[in-house]
Amino acid sequence: MAKAAKHIPSDRERAFIAQVENAKYDRQIITGLKKFMEGTVPQDMQGFYTSDELQAITDLDGTLRDIQARMPVKITRHYFEQAQSSPAMQTLIKATPNETFDLDGAQDPGKQMTYSPVEGLIHKYELGLIYVASTCSAHCRFCYREELIAKKEIEREDGTSAPKGLAQISEIVAYIVEHNRLVAQNDGRHPQTGRERLREILMSGGDPMVLGNKNLAQWLGALAQAGIEAIRIGTKELAFFPQRFDASFFDMLDHFHSAYPQVNLRMMVHFNHPDEFLKKMPDGSYVDHPEGGLEWIESTREAVKQLGSRSWINIDNQSPIIKGINNDPDALRIMQRELKRNGIENHYFFCGRDIVGHKAFNVPIEEAWHVLNESQKGLSGVEAHARLSITHYKGKTEVAAVTNEPMLGVPGGENGVVIFKLLRSAADAPDRCKVTIVGRNPNAIWFSGYDDRVIYDEAELFSMYGIKLAAAE
Ligand code: SF4
């Protein structure tokens, strides 16, 4: 596709953007480890890394196991303050040499470049994901976009290699308009790819909330003008710097809603642990709210309240289940209950992806299922909506069930089975809800851990790689 010319906003976009004010934010970010090593971080941050921890990390600088080259280190003041009393948050944000002990993993998890017709756009299903920022206010060590944030060279479909680039408004708008034009001309399906109308865009990265209000508004206006019906903003800013959700941001959203009232906004938020939003007592326990539930950190609670007061905004949380952070049923139970009580849907929990170095973070698939299942015991139906998903190259897949008992009479099912359900096929909607059953392997952290024990493969999660049913071998 030819490079599109500079985006020319419509009068409606222009009128909307003209009303938007940028604001200044002081996130007090510490980037890298140098300031920790030199002792130039604020006094109260100086013990956050011990000198032994810093030495062990920097010993690896410049080697294949370079920790900061794998994923740059970054933390906000807000996150640091919460993390002081939270081992889980410290594990999430602090670099350790463990991260590069085993560098097994995919350079481009989910083979995203296969679905990237335009730089910075991943087009799957009826949804497009765009990279609008290549950083976040802080960096999770387990990040599954480490290749984007660390600007690693990724092999493209044409065999060349280059870091992943950011989406440009003009190119994305041109792609959406052309795709939808062809779909409309062809009875609702794209003539080459068979895909439906592109009606939903997820703004992602990195974190879109690191952009200024005007930049966000340019994206929102352009996407709405291109005919997008729902815009998602994927963000962990409620955990890293909730003060970003200030009056100027909500003014921008309200102006957007006045200009494009038909467009639904979906905030896809990212809390991994209740320590990220709940107040704690000196003994580590949470603080009961006098009117029920638990007390939230004021700035986070206010941001969520403001989002929730707008009927055209949905708020959904999604989180991977990560070793040492939230593979803890009690923490996940509290988190799901409190999020729902405050108007945030529990959307998905994820098994960690097969990123480079994933063995340092990923919980075995069956353990993740067990943790989520245990966490949902005692929750009401509406609190326990979240499913456990694992992203297969073919599409989003649910870990639907793990049996504890042998499946008698089923070869390969002697130790019980795991049932995967394809929730959405990236290429082809009719494959939805097809099922694959494998014999249990409690150590499996990725699909490959089941290659030798496939019992039934209607969803073709294994046969697409030529892996046969175990009974057929
Ligand atoms: S917020 Fe998301 S994109 Fe940003 S570092 Fe964490 S996992 Fe990565």
The CATH number of residue 111's host domain is 3.20.20.70
Q: Which residue(s) pair with 391 in the sheet? A: 396
Residues 19 and 49 in one domain: no
Residues 126 and 223 in one domain: yes
List CB contacts of 13: < 8 A, sequence separation 6 or more.
218, 221, 222, 225, 259
Sign of CA dihedral 127, 133, 137, 139: positive
Residues 254 and 200 in one domain: yes
Pocket test residue of 29, 93, 140, 203 for ligand 1, highest count of atoms within 8 A of CB: 140
Please report the pLDDT score of residue 2 as a whole number: 53
Q: What does each C-alpha distance from 263 to 21, 156, 173, 178, 227 come to in angstroms?
A: 21, 33, 16, 20, 9
Query: What does pTM read for this prediction?
Result: 0.95
Q: Where are the beta strands (DSSP E) in 16-126?
A: 30-31, 74-75, 121-124
Determine the distance separating the centroid of ligand 1 and the alpha carbon of 68, expressed in angstroms.
15
Determine the distance separating the centroid of ligand 1 and the alpha carbon of 93, expressed in angstroms.
10
Strands 74-75 and 30-31: antiparallel
Regions of the chain with pLDDT less than 50: 1
* Boundary of a domain, candidates 100, 123, 142: 100
Determine the distance separating the centroid of ligand 1 and the alpha carbon of 428, expressed in angstroms.
28
Pocket test residue of 136, 164, 210, 276 for ligand 1, highest count of atoms within 8 A of CB: 136
Residues 155 and 217 in one domain: yes
Instruction: Please report whether residue 304 resides in a domain.
Output: no
Residues 263 and 150 in one domain: yes
Backbone angles phi, psi at 439, to 5 degrees: -70, 150
Rounded-to-integer distance, Cα 215 and Cα 365, Å = 39
Pocket test residue of 79, 139, 267, 269 for ligand 1, highest count of atoms within 8 A of CB: 139
* Boundary of a domain, candidates 48, 65, 100: 100
Instruction: Please report whether residue 68 resides in a domain.
Output: yes
Instruction: Please report whether residue 430 resides in a domain.
Output: yes
Q: Tell me if 453 sits within 8 A of 441, measured CB to CB.
A: yes
> Where in the sequence is the domain holding 442, given as residue range(s)?
394-473
Ligand 1 atom 3 nearest Cα: 206
Residues 89 and 142 in one domain: no
Determine the distance separating the centroid of ligand 1 and the alpha carbon of 206, expressed in angstroms.
6
Q: Tell me if 400 sits within 8 A of 420, measured CB to CB.
A: yes
Instruction: Please report whether residue 348 resides in a domain.
Output: no
Closest ligand 1 atom to 320 CA: 7
Residues 12 and 38 in one domain: no
List CB contacts of 57: < 8 A, sequence separation 6 or more.
33, 67, 68, 95, 96, 97
Report angle CA 384, 390, 391 to the nearest 5 degrees. 130
Number of domains in the chain: 3
Instruction: Please report whether residue 329 resides in a domain.
Output: no
Closest ligand 1 atom to 146 CA: 8
Residues 87 and 147 in one domain: no
Residues 88 and 123 in one domain: no
Pocket test residue of 145, 241, 269, 321 for ligand 1, highest count of atoms within 8 A of CB: 145
* Boundary of a domain, candidates 227, 254, 270: 270
Instruction: Please report whether residue 305 resides in a domain.
Output: no
Residues 136 and 229 in one domain: yes
Residues 142 and 78 in one domain: no
Please report the pLDDT score of residue 21 as a whole number: 97
Please report the pLDDT score of residue 429 as a whole number: 60
Instruction: Please report whether residue 320 resides in a domain.
Output: no
Closest ligand 1 atom to 240 CA: 1
Instruction: Please report whether residue 378 resides in a domain.
Output: no
Query: Which residues, judged by CB distance below 6 Å to any ligand atom, belong to the binding site of ligand 1?
Result: 136, 139-140, 143, 145, 206-207, 236, 270
Residues 91 and 186 in one domain: no
